[in-house]
Amino acid sequence: MVTPQRLENQLTDKGYVPVYTTAVVEQPWDSYTATDHEVWATLFKRQRELLAGRACDEFIQSQEAMGMGAGAIPKFAELNRLLRDSTGWELIGVQGLLPELTFFEHLANRRFPVTWWIRKPEQLDYLAEPDLFHDLFGHVPLLMNPVFADYMQAYGCGGVKAHGIGPEALAQLTRLYWYTVEFGLIKTDAGLRIYGSGIVSSKGESLHCLDSAAPNRIGFDLLRVMRTRYRIDTYQKTYFVIDSFEQLFDATRPDFTPYYDQLAKQETIPAGEVLASDAMFNRGTGEGWLTDGDV
């Protein structure tokens, strides 16, 4: 086994440059400091308080079923016992960002990579890359949900395929991940709720995505989502709303190859644009939007 290192994006005069790693490491649980556990506790308590009535029930219930609490950073080995029994998923420790194909191959085999290290106290509100809090608090709970668990695996299989097709297909598939797994909203009888990991692990975006008048909230449509560019440096201009996790899984059931052919003939859509064909929940006011910077 490799000795775990903390591999972070490098800050240069051109912004953050990602650092990729492929090593799978044992979670060095005994090496977490009191400060690391405190960062976990602070973020855990803050987000759970904020997410009451905001995150979907499946997220909160799964997190509770896993026994995640503020007390200490959870042990991957303990979570794995529960996960394997419920949906057959397994967490693996990683040092930072994985190359795309490696990431997809793990998902396709029901392995979810979790960054072993946690942010520093001065990074509570923003970090340029995923850390343990984002991955574990944000992504892992829904792997307990059988339908979402299957969706994640289907996404991984689709990713391996898209990687073989080419960069355009990969970009289109990445948009799907971004607008669902990372920044998805779900419609419930009680109103819109959050299920995206990028939202539940961020204080600012947990508030913004539901309370702000600025963003669009649009009904999920697979091909529409796969054409829509997104923001990595600011809150999203548009959130897509699913009806259920079944809807999401069903959308990824077919082979995407014909979709890629179809999408190749169409323009991408700017992050904040609304189309006449969109099923609107709210049209955003666009307040505070930057005019450039969509990726």
Instruction: Copy the structure tokens of residue 223.
Output: 């091909």
Rounded to a whole number of angstroms, the minimum distance from the CB of residue 72 to Fe ion is 22
Long-range contacts formed by 167-176: CB under 8 A, 24+ apart: 168/260, 168/263, 168/264, 169/256, 169/260, 170/100, 172/226, 172/227, 172/259, 172/260, 172/263, 173/226, 173/256, 175/225, 175/226, 175/227, 175/228, 175/229, 175/230, 176/222, 176/225, 176/226, 176/252
Shortest gap between Cβ of 137 and Fe ion (angstroms)?
11
Residue count of the chain: 295
Q: How far is the CB of 101 from Fe ion (least distance, A)?
A: 17
Pairing of strands 191-194, 111-115: unpaired
**Cβ closer to Fe ion: 95 or 197?**
197
Name which of 21 and 197 has its Cβ closer to Fe ion: 197
- To the nearest whole angstrom, how small is the minimum distance from the Cβ of residue 142 to Fe ion? 12
Residue 197 or 238: which CB sits closer to Fe ion? Answer: 197
Active site positions, annotated:
134, 139, 182, 201
Kindly state the smallest distance separating residue 198's Cβ from Fe ion, in Å. 6
**Count of positions on this chain that bind Fe ion (CB under 5 A):** 1
Q: How far is CA 200 from the centre of its chain?
A: 9
| Closer residue to Fe ion (CB): 197 or 202 | 197
Region binding Fe ion by CB under 5 A among candidate stretches 69-77, 191-199, 208-216, 265-273:
191-199
Q: In angstroms, what is the minimal distance from the CB of 279 to Fe ion?
A: 26
Binding string to Fe ion for residues 196 to 235, with x set by CB under 5 A, is what?
A: -x--------------------------------------
Q: Which stretch binds Fe ion (CB under 5 A): 93-101, 119-127, 168-176, 195-203?
A: 195-203
Measured CA angle at 65 (ends 239, 118), to 5 deg: 65
Nearer to Fe ion among residue 140 and residue 162 (C-beta):
140
Q: Of the listed pieces 151-159, 192-200, 227-235, 286-294, which binds Fe ion according to CB under 5 A?
A: 192-200
Contact assessment for residue 138 and residue 232, using Cβ atoms and an 8 Å cutoff: no
Which spans of this chain sit near Fe ion (rule: CB under 5 A)?
197
